[in-house]
Structure 1
Amino acid sequence: MKKITLLPAIAALMLAGCVQVDDYTQVVKAPAPQWLVGYWQSAGPQSKLVSPEAIASLVVTKEGDTLDCRQWQRVIAEPGKLMQRGDTLYNVTQKRDIYTVELDGETLDYAGMTLKRVDKPTVECQAEMGKLPQFASAAVAGEIPSAPSAQ
């Protein structure tokens, strides 16, 4: 009987460091830091992608809207938003996938992949951006820079 009452406490301790989102609409969107705004793309083959030819892209607006766009034989584009917990920045997709976002020198560590800044996303991801108002207007207005501004 004592083992059964300890299970919830053990489970709570194991999950203490995890981030969980039950309702995407309740996630508070954080504005993107200047260094993160723009277009990012996988740099070479990535073990987290289905094929060495697959490409991962991340689009980030200054307001904190994101588009996780992965392509190989088809395009899977998942809108999301940035969320800040303490000093850690996360991308939360509408499917409630949660990925840490960390700058490592000139590259971005994201979803177990290494992304580099690019001038524009792939043509396929641009088409997906055009379907979403938060990205279509930002891209047309030039609000998503290809490189950070000099400070």
Structure 2
Amino acid sequence: MERLAEFTAAAAEAGVETVIEHGDFQEESGRAGMRALLETGVDAVLTADSRMTLGAVRVCLEAGITPSAGLPFVGFDDIAPFTLLQPPLPLICQDLEGMATTAVQLLEAQLRGERPQTEHRLPAHLRLTPATTITEAEVPHHD
């Protein structure tokens, strides 16, 4: 829900019209959502997780559309199949090591009988190519 809220707020601020297909973070909902989006004639796509990205990419390829080249496309999560795409798929990547470290710290705190804080936020980054990442500070802002 946070991803959706942040995306819609950023799109509205940029004056970008959106069409949203809701999914269940599974590959099939990515496939169904991408089919529906292609029917509307969208001119760019942002997916919300790796499985839906995979489903959406498969539909694009089946339709003869190359994600990132024939259709501006940003996926979510850095998983092995995405390294096979040419051109590389821009991805919003989460800090998996940071997530694992935080999870262990929370578990250790619980084992000590402590009540850990209920919310932890870790940054994500946009990976433009397999070897290129940018930080939020490097993202151009339009005033």
For normalisation by structure 1, the TM-score amounts to 0.22
Q: More relative contact order in 1 or in 2 (CA 8 Å, sep 6+)? A: 1
More helix by share: 2
For normalisation by structure 2, the TM-score amounts to 0.23
More strand by share: 1
